[in-house]
Each structure stands twice: as structure tokens, then as C-alpha cells.
Structure 1
Amino acid sequence: MLGGLTGLTDPKGTDWGERMLNTVASQTIRHLFTQSESVEVFVRCHPSSKLLQGSIDSFKMSGRGLVIRRDFAVEEMSFETDAVAIDFSSVLSGKLKLKQPTQAVAQVVLSEAGINQAFKAELVKKRLLNLSEPTLTAISGGQPVSFTEVEIQLLPGNSLHLIAQADLNNGEIVPLRMTLNVGIEKRRRVSFKNPKIEMEQIPEPQRDISQALSVALVEILDNMVDLDRFDLDGVKMRLNRLETEGQKLIFSGYAEIERIPSTG
């Protein structure tokens, strides 16, 4: 077996060591996601004798149609490392373990439809329903407020259009409509800023309360999307750039990989 790892190649010239790593890595990465349309892994190790010392040249993964934690759809995800030290014995047992932490260049693409679906996830809804913060109850007359039917449309220039409803828990439903900018803060948080509230389609008697609740909703969203809450075990994402492109929201940055997580 070791002879195959260190010397043999298949007819396409692919090293047996690389083939084994690609197989093991693909199996490991697929387990990170609840669902995956496709996951491709390319591990380069030449000559493969370096594998015996646990050294590989690079590790690249690209995936499409991914679902994380059952509710969060990712249209595309890719990352690529430089040289990585791994535990060779883990490869022989069908697993992939790092000897030391590493970093990878990463890109994540979310679709407009996937983002809207995420607003229906329990993890998100529980941060938008039956809220009793003083700033909200002061607006609603003492009743808890729920924000429902949240839907966004991505716009050029790192902005989006947002519509929602505020349920005042007294029979009154207040419509909310606005455009706002999205950006990055502290390399880990998605920020929502500069709301431009649209009053033309809001019934006149509700305009003042719609304005106040819109501002409150933007503040909630601005403190909600912190990547540390969504990290896979052993992996932290850090963002350098965010941009809207058609119906896609594209993040680029890097991943700090302490260990290969076992589940997503």
C-alpha cells in the first residue's frame, strides 16, 4: 500500500496519494452539509512521499447547492489553502485531521431566494418574534412586537429592498418598506445601514409608527448576522469584501481552520 502511495500513478498521471486524499477529503467535506448538490475536492501532494510526513501542497474545495444546519442555503462555496500539515494515520482510517491550524482563501455566494428562505428558519424567527425590548414596547403601547413576512430584493451597489410586517399583538399589522445598504463590520458581521424608508404605500395613519418600527427592525438586523453564530465547529470565517451582483450576494475573505469539523 505504501508503495502505491509513494510511486504509482494511474493512466491519467494522477498520483495514488492524491487520489486517496481526494476521496477521503470529499467524504469528510460532504458531511459538513445537511445537503449538497455537488462537492469537489482537489488535494495536491507531489511527490506523494511527502504524504508520509503529513505534508500536502494545497487543498481546494468547491461546492454548489449546499445547506448548512438544515435551513441555510448556500449557492456556492469555495476555499483553498496553501501547504497544510495533516495526520497521515487519519487518512488511512478514512478521516482527515490537521496537525496544526491553517488558513484558507474563501468565497461564499448566497442567492436572493436562499436569503429569503433563511428568514423562515427557526434560528432567525426566534430573534424576530414576540420582542419585548423597551424601545419596541414604547412604540407598540406596551405589547410585544413580531416582525414577520420579511422579504428582501438584492439591488446594485451593495443595497437591498426590504418589505416586512410588524404585528403589534393587538390586532394591528403595520407594513414596513425600505431600501438599505449592506456592508461588513469587524470582518465578521454583516451590517445594515442607512435605511431609506418608503412611505408612499403605507396608510397615512400608520406612517409614524411604520417609520419608528422600520428603524427598530434595521437595528435588530444589524446585530443579528454575526458569523461567529454560524461557524462550523473548528472553522471561523472572516470577511474582506461583500458585493451584490444580480440576485446574488457574494462574500470573500478567509477561513481560520483549527480542525476539520465532523458535522455541519
Structure 2
Amino acid sequence: MFGGFVGSNQNQGADWGENLLNTVASNTIRHLFTQCESVEVQVRCQPSSKLLQGSIDSFKMQGRGLVIRRDFRTAAMSFETDAVALDFGSVLKGTIALKQPTQAIALVTLTETDINHAFKAELVRKRLENLTDPRLLELSGGEPVSFTDVHLELLPQNRIKLFAQTHLTNQVVPVVLSCELGLAKRRRITYENAVFEGETIPEGLQGLSRLLMGILVDILNEMVDLDRFNLDGVLLRLNRLETQGKELLFSGYAQIERIPRSG
């Protein structure tokens, strides 16, 4: 009878601890993003009493409408960790501290609209405007060159069609291309096997537009590097990407050394 009473108290404590951890984890994750439509956290721990010692079988998060650094929105993001050892005392203080690193499987969904909005972000535009690449300066007579109005359409089989306007010294040259999206070193998105799409470009500009296309592809291939977006204490890597209708899906993993305090 006494043992049953103790067991009941342990279960109540574990349930209380699990609810507290869910709350603290949800609040911590929300603070990593500029905006957050929803976040759901699920802790798996069997038996539940292990939670009071800071031992968790897995930790799962599902979020929607998560905005990173004000301009980079993900339609959906989820991750599920391996076993986690945390300092339960930190949870009581409203934070989460890991006793040792852990890994998580990550899934991210971007919409075509969100990707095109990201092309308008200052962080992206400053890598596309007022460029002094020697190849561009040769075409512009020594004046900086800008690529603007960049947007893309997602196509089947991991392909995209991309549009841009190139501002040279005294003219605007459109660029239209299609290519396949790929991954380099599991951290960089690449634009591969680019094909010049010149049907809508005036015949007199097609030669110049084709040259500009090659330069733009080189710039884009160096632009989307996950190491520029890593949160403090979290290393992100991608294993696969796939276009599905008007969405771009990524799957990969995160190596988590510590829980970041902010995005």
C-alpha cells in the first residue's frame, strides 16, 4: 500500500515534470523565431519517472509558420531527437541545458511564395546588387551591376525556372533559366545543369543574357549555405531535397551541442 502511494506520487511528479518541460521547450523554441504560428512539443519517456533524472527517450517538435530573421519563413518544420540527457534543474529555472550533445532528424517545408519573399530580404539583396565581379564589370564598362526582381517557379523532378532583371550601365537585360536543385557537402543548395530560356528575351539581348545567366548561377551557387544560418550550438545538414507542387521539402539532421537562447 505504501509502495503504491509512492509510485503514485512518482507518476504525478513525472507528469508534472513532463508538462513543465513541454511548456519550457515550447517557449524556448518560440523565442528562436521572429514569428511563430504554432509549435507543438511531445516528450517520449518510458518509464515516465526517468524524466525526473533528466533522461528522455526522444523529444519531438512540430511547428508551422516559423519566420527566421524576419524574412525567411518556413511553412512547416519538425525535428525528433535521439535520447536526450538534460539538467532537470535548468527546466525548473525556465531554460533547457543539455548534459551531452544529441542529434535530431529534421524536416523543413518551404512554399514557392516564401522562397520568393526571401529573395527580397536585405540579406539576400546585398549579395545580388551593386556587384563588382570582374566579369560583370567587363560587360558594364566598369560600373557595378545588380540583379533584381529575382523570383522562381518550382517544377517537378527538383527543377526550377528562375527569372531576374540585370541592371547594366544604361540598359536592363532580362535573364530566364531553368535548372535542377542539388546539394553540395550537405550544407549548400546548388543550381545545376542550367538551361538558357530565351523565348521571351529580345533576340538582340539573348547573347548578353546568356552570359549573365552563367554569372548569376555562379553567384546563386555560393549564396545558400546553411552555415550562415546555424543557430548558436546547432549544426544543420541536409540529406535530401524534393519539389512537390508549389513546395520544396528538405530532410536532414541537426547536431545539437546546446540549446540556443535566441535566433
* TM score, norm. by length of structure 1: 0.94
Matched, 1:6 2:6: no
Tell me the secondary structure at the aligned position of residue 15 of structure 1: helix
Matched, 1:119 2:115: no
Q: Summarize deviations over 1:57-84 as a string: whole Å, max 9, x none.
A: 1100000011001110000000001210
Distance 1:137 1:93 in 2: 57
Maintained 8 Å contact 1:96/1:260: yes
Q: Summarize deviations over 1:218-257 as a string: whole Å, max 9, x none.
A: 1100111000001111111111100000000000010111
| Residue in structure 2 matched with residue 156 of structure 1 by the alignment | 156
Maintained 8 Å contact 1:4/1:17: no
| Residue in structure 1 matched with residue 181 of structure 2 by the alignment | 182
Structure 2: where are the runs of 5+ without partners? 1-5
Q: Summarize deviations over 1:125-155 as a string: whole Å, max 9, x none.
A: 0000000011211222222110000010000
* TM score, norm. by length of structure 2: 0.94
| Residue in structure 2 matched with residue 40 of structure 1 by the alignment | 40
Tell me the secondary structure at the aligned position of residue 231 of structure 2: coil
Report percent identity of matched pairs: 62
Q: Which amino acid aligns with 2:15?
A: D
Please provide the CA RMSD for this pair: 1.7
| Residue in structure 2 matched with residue 256 of structure 1 by the alignment | 255
Distance 1:103 1:4 in 2: 33
Matches within 5 A, 1:190-209: 190-209=189-208
Maintained 8 Å contact 1:77/1:108: yes
Tell me the secondary structure at the aligned position of residue 243 of structure 1: strand
Maintained 8 Å contact 1:130/1:146: yes
| Residue in structure 2 matched with residue 110 of structure 1 by the alignment | 110
Deviation at 1:17, TM superposition (A): 2.1
| Residue in structure 1 matched with residue 3 of structure 2 by the alignment | none
Matched, 1:92 2:92: yes
Q: Summarize deviations over 1:27-67 as a string: whole Å, max 9, x none.
A: 11111110011000111223333223221111000000110
| Residue in structure 2 matched with residue 130 of structure 1 by the alignment | 130
Q: Which amino acid aligns with 2:107?
A: Q
Q: Which amino acid aligns with 2:68?
A: I
Matches within 5 A, 1:139-154: 139-154=139-154
Tell me the secondary structure at the aligned position of residue 144 of structure 2: coil
Structure-2 change in CA distance of 1:127 and 1:117 (3 Å) = same
Distance 1:219 1:198 in 2: 17
Deviation at 1:4, TM superposition (A): 8.6
Deviation at 1:176, TM superposition (A): 0.6
